[in-house]
Amino acid sequence: MASERVRAKLASFAPLYVLIATWLVAAHSTPHFADLAWRDGRLVGASVDACVRAVPVMLAALGLTLVIAGGGIDLSVGSVLALAAVGAARVSEADGSAAAAVAAALGLGLLVGALNGTLVVALGLAPIVATLASMIVVRGAAQLAAGGVVVPIDRSGLVEILAARPAGLPASVLLVGLLFAAFAVAKRRFAFGLYLEASGDNPRAARLAGLPVGAVLFATYVLAGLAAALAGLVVASEIRAADSASAGLYLELDAILAVVIGGTPLSGGRARLLATLVGALALQTLATAMLMHGLAPHIALLVKGVVVLVAAATARPSWGRAIA
């Protein structure tokens, strides 16, 4: 009995093992990968770099974890990232203040999230259809808002805020920490977490038990929209511009991948937020190591494909049937 429980506990740390193994292999095979240094009051090194690069996927994947835990899926996060980035850039172009840019991005994320939630909850559309449609529309809206050009964002103070290094750590990484803390508190300290996992596990039973299933699922889409908008702010401030055509392309697939590696079942019913972050980090560690090795980008694609299959096959027994 006890040994079984220990085994289950150990198995639940699987994403962490993947991260550690990836890191060890990378550190062993790549010169200077494991180096960490304190320079000019900031922590630098390949591992920190991997963390920073993983930020957009981590942010989007945190929101997606909630949606998937509720038994849904959100394919529109990449497009929301692009729309939020363009919105922030446009507003900062006109207004110049960082606060207005942030408000614009979050407002747009909220709007698309509410649209997705309405389509799924009120109209009863299959989440994959509804968010596929909004993915296409929102990407188009981002392109229209950008007017066919890459919009610069360097005039607002946003770039400086996100480039700051409080306590030597990148601000964007701290942002991930904040969002994680907020979601984790919502999940563990409030009824939201219980309602969410109950709704994802068995929506019918949850409804019969009197839980506000519709409101909970609606909230997950709104939160996913907000998280993707935050990712848009980070991406825009990192490259000091918003590119409506290429920003966040395939982000939804990477984010879903991070959630899956983290062991959140696609059939819903469980939200593993920390494991999602670990999964995103493992993916980015792999990518950074391959980049430092000078491997062609398409080899990274191949490895990613194999990782999906291996992660899915090892996590299999706890899974229900497909979401499709």
> Which positions touch other proteins (CB under 8 A)?
75, 119, 123-126, 128-130, 132-144, 146, 148, 244-245, 253, 256-257, 260, 266, 296-299, 301-302, 304-306, 308-309, 312-313, 316, 319, 321-324
DSSP helix/strand/coil, 76? coil
Task: Give the separation between CA 212 and CA 222, rounded to whole angstroms.
Answer: 16
CB of 139 to other proteins, least distance (A): 5
Token pair for 179: 């969002």
Minimum CB distance to other proteins smaller for 196 or for 283:
283
Q: Which is nearer to other proteins, 102 or 257 (CB)?
A: 257
* Contact call for residues 135 and 252 (beta carbons, < 8 A): yes
Assigned token pair, 186: 């919502």
Q: Which is nearer to other proteins, 98 or 206 (CB)?
A: 206
Among 71, 114, 97, 59, CA closest to 248: 59
Minimum CB separation of residue 324 from other proteins in Å reads 4
Give dist(CA 104, CA 97) in Å, integer: 11
CB-wise, 31 or 140, nearer to other proteins? 140
Q: Which amino acid is at 163?
A: A
Say if CB 69 and CB 270 are below 8 A apart. yes
Minimum CB separation of residue 22 from other proteins in Å reads: 17
CB closer to other proteins, 137 vs 161 = 137
Instruction: Give the number of other CB atoms < 10 A from CB of residue 184.
Output: 15
Q: Min. distance of Cβ 183 from other proteins in angstroms? A: 23
Q: Which is nearer to other proteins, 43 or 253 (CB)?
A: 253
Tell me which residue of 252, 249, 244 sits closest to 227, measured CA to CA.
Answer: 252
Q: Name the minimum Å distance from CB 143 to other proteins.
A: 3
The least CB distance from residue 132 to other proteins, in Å, is 6
Tokens at residue 141, please?
A: 């809206």
